[in-house]
Structure formats: C-alpha cells, structure tokens
Amino acid sequence: MSDDNTPDKDATEQPEGEPKDGEAKQPAAPRPRRTTAGRTTAPRAAGTRTTGAPRTGGTRARAAAAAEPPAEEAAAASTETAPAEAAPPAPRRGAQTFEGLGSLRQAMAQATRPAAPPPSAAAAFAPLPEDVQPKRDALGRSYATGKRKNAVARVWIKPGNGRIEVNGRDSPIYFARPVLRMLISQPFVVTDRLGQFDVWCTVKGGGLSGQAGAVRHGISKALTFYEPGLRPALKHGGFLTRDSRVVERKKYGRHKARRRPQYSKR
C-alpha cells in the first residue's frame, strides 16, 4: 500500500497496448486529423486519395440534416398514405352493373319500337288559316299566270294522269331538252303530286329556257289556288317568287351591255 491509499500494481501486469513477451510489436493506429472548421475526418490509408466526396456546410447544414427525416422513412410514409388517397378501382369491363343492365334494356326496347313515319313536306310547315278557299272555275280547273325573263305563260291545271300540253304539243316534244322537262315537273315533285294533275298552258315570248321557267312559275301558283295547303312547301322552295333577272340593256358606245370595242393603240 502506498501513502495515497492506492493499490500497488502487480509487477506482472502490463499496461494496455504494450505487447507481451514474444509477440511482435504492431504499429499504432493513426490518429484522426482535425480540420480548421472543427470537424474530424476519418484517416485515409497510405496511397489512397478521396475525390468526389461532397463537402458539407457548418453547424447550420448539420442542423438541417438532423431535422430532415431519413429517405427510407419518407418513402415508407408515402407508401402508407398512397392507398388511402388513391381513387377506388374502376369496375372490370366484363362486369355488368344494375345501371348498365337497365340502360341496355331501355336501348333494346327503343330498338324494337316501330319507327315513326317521317312527316310530309306540307305538314312540316305552319298550317294555313281555315278561311282560305281554293279557286276553281266551273270546269274544276285552277288558272295562274307565270313569268320568267321575257316569257309569259298562262296555265290551267285539273286532276288527271300527269299529262302536260304546251301550245298544243306534248311537253316531251315542245321541251326536247331533259333539263327543261325536269324544270317544269319540280313543283309536283316537291308537293308529292307527281302524275296527279293534267296541265294545259300557252306560252309566248323569250326562248325555251325562259318559257320553261314561266311554265313552272304558273304551275306553282295554280297548285296553290287549287290546293291552298301546298303553299308553305312551294313557298319554302322558292317556286312562288318571280325571278326578276332579265337581260341587261345595251349601252351606246359599246357592242353589248358591257362589251367594249377592241382597243387599237395606233
């Protein structure tokens, strides 16, 4: 015992870190280096070089890093909240719901219903007043006058088999061009009265095109006098309007309405 009441060390005891007898002495581990900013860096082995490692900031950077949760914990939290926020899965295409079956039954019921007949051309327009009476002579005919360009046509119509006589000749002979025969039959086609009336008319003035237009105008007006209910359909098609387009008059100093004489420089 020593004076300071401390036990004496055994003579056989050796201090820690000292090699025993017969053992080789190992070199001591290098001490960590201390940087100027107060940080300690791990010792590097001889012949190695640390490059590319990012340098961290000071005390503020360490505090921010400690405040942020680890990346693994953030990923786990996001995976836990994702299923709760996700929308419910859409039903499979093959699965049938009650609403789908109901709409299917409704569509099949509508498909099996008979389709309504399309309204006629006359019924699609507003009806005429009841006080409008047809205009017919003692022979049951309706008369009207039609005009086009310089041609004037007087037209009589009465129920028949669809014969059209122009100036004492049949329409296929008088109007040899098919487009002219189609023109005079348009009022009957629009009103769905083709082949139900006989037409007798006289026409004068103008050419064949103007005469065909005058006959069509007269037939349209005569149909409205014989059957007033056909007026809306004919009016909608423009058959009751007198076409005011006529040839332009010749001007003096010109060969025609606008044709100038040939210019000669010398």
131 vs 125 pLDDT, higher one: 131
Q: Is residue 180 part of a domain?
A: yes
Distance CA 154, CA 205 (A): 12
Distance CA 36, CA 58 (A): 11
Q: Is residue 252 pLDDT above 90, yes or no?
A: yes
Q: Is residue 120 part of a domain?
A: no
Its pTM stands at 0.53
Q: Is residue 152 part of a domain?
A: yes
Most confident of 8-12, 33-37, 72-76, 251-255: 251-255
Please tell me the least confidently modeled range out of 40-54, 153-167, 240-254.
40-54
Distance CA 230, CA 219 (A): 12
Cβ neighbors of 231 (< 8 A, separation 6 or more) are: 128, 224, 240
**243 token code pair:** 């076409």
Q: Is residue 266 part of a domain?
A: no
CATH assignment of the domain containing 214: 3.30.230.10
Q: Is residue 155 pLDDT above 90, yes or no?
A: yes
Domain that residue 228 falls in: 142-237
Q: How many domains does the chain have?
A: 1
Q: Is residue 192 part of a domain?
A: yes
Q: Is residue 133 part of a domain?
A: no
196-242 tens-digit pLDDT: 999 999 999 999 999 999 999 999 999 999 999 999 999 999 999 99
Q: Is residue 14 part of a domain?
A: no
Q: Is residue 160 part of a domain?
A: yes
Mean pLDDT for the chain? 76
